[in-house]
Amino acid sequence: MLTCQMCNHTFSSIMLYNNHQLFHKNMPNLRITCFFKNCGKQFNKYFNLKKHVYRCHTINKDNKMNVIYRCKERNCNVCFTNRKDFNKHLYNHIRRSKIGIYCGYSDCSTNIIYKIVNAYAVHICRYHSNITLYEQRVDNENHRELNFDTDNVTDNCNFYSKEENLNQISDDAVHYVKVISQLYLNLSTKYFLTERALQAVIDCMSSINEFSRQHFIVTLTESKQDIKLQDDIKEKIKDMFENSYYIFSNLYNSINGCLKNTYSRNAYFQKNFNMVTPKQVNLGFGNNHEKCCYHYIPIVNTLEFLLQNSDIRQFCLNSYNLGL
């Protein structure tokens, strides 16, 4: 697995890792590692990583025929120069195998056994679908660094999304965080959902979001005959959808996710919704060894938040003057 040094998120492919770095590009003390095979270079700017990948890890059309896919299954070692034939070969292994297979791509760090063809097809679509910039050169005798003029490389990967799209994602993310936070706040305060139950809801929503994302990409990939769209347009649609997906997942990253745990959520609620967090007082354990506690609302904090409202403050002052 590839780990982001800024937020400790882990990724199963280089493509997802590099796409993720878009969200850290304006952070101070940025640290990005190039995880391409036999590289490992470090960068402190996102643009430098992008430039490095263009120059050193791009496969142009003239070199595509040198890409060799070698099957890693026991007693097989069949080689392919065509990606589609290689995938079909792996699908046949799954159909014939009783225990399933691991991913056949050499750059894949997942440790999952695939027993169903559809499940493996989704995995390939998600992690190994981009053949322009991210195909690993396996057992390639002509393996070498390639230098290209970045102006002549087609920008068809979400790793190289345009700046205006990034700004739009940022604006949408702010609104999205407020909407999802309002939902969590209502569940906790209005419907008295416990933190344990709320976390279960969050996990379920995340699973649904992931399933929807995979279903969309698979449907788009399989719609070549049904929908007459050019491949580059489909790639751009898929890239836009992939970028929007990270808005949800980045809310819960372990370093600076504003909704990563109860403390972070309460801090966000207090800052954005003027929420006064109830205080818990532990009372020890009951006769059946259950944990006992009670909660109270801090009066001083409540009054401070109320008096921040100009109408309430004016009403209190008028009432005080009338009393005099």
User: How does pLDDT run along the chain (324 residues), one tens digit per residue?
Assistant: 788 888 888 877 787 788 788 778 778 888 898 888 778 888 988 888 888 887 777 654 444 445 678 888 888 878 887 788 888 899 888 888 888 888 888 767 677 888 888 788 877 776 776 543 333 333 333 333 333 333 333 333 344 333 333 333 355 567 778 888 888 888 888 888 888 888 888 877 777 777 777 777 777 766 655 566 677 776 777 777 766 666 676 777 666 678 878 888 888 888 888 777 778 888 888 888 888 888 888 888 888 878 888 888 888 888 877 765
Indicate whether 94 and 112 sit together in one domain: yes
134 lies in some domain: no
Indicate whether 177 and 259 sit together in one domain: yes
139 lies in some domain: no
Indicate whether 230 and 287 sit together in one domain: no
Domain that holds residue 25: 2-57
Indicate whether 78 and 52 sit together in one domain: no
* Domains held by the chain: number: 4
Print the SS3 string covering the chain: CEECCCCCCEECCHHHHHHHHHHHCCCCCCCEECCCCCCCCEECCHHHHHHHHHHHCCCCHHHHHHCEEECCCCCCCCEECCHHHHHHHHHHHHHHCCCCECCCCCCCCCCCCECCHHHHHHHHHHHCCCCCCCCCCECCCCCCCCCCCHHHCCCCCHHHCCHHHHHHHHHHHHHHHHHHHHHHHHHHHCCCCCHHHHHHHHHHHHHHHHHHHHHHHHHHHCCCCCCCCCHHHHHHHHHHHHHHHHHHHHHHCCCCCCCCCHHHHHHHHHHHHCCCCCEEEEEEECCCCCEEEEEECCHHHHHHHHHCCHHHHHHHHHHHHHHC
158 lies in some domain: no
149 lies in some domain: no
Indicate whether 245 and 231 sit together in one domain: yes
103 lies in some domain: yes
161 lies in some domain: no
Indicate whether 185 and 266 sit together in one domain: yes
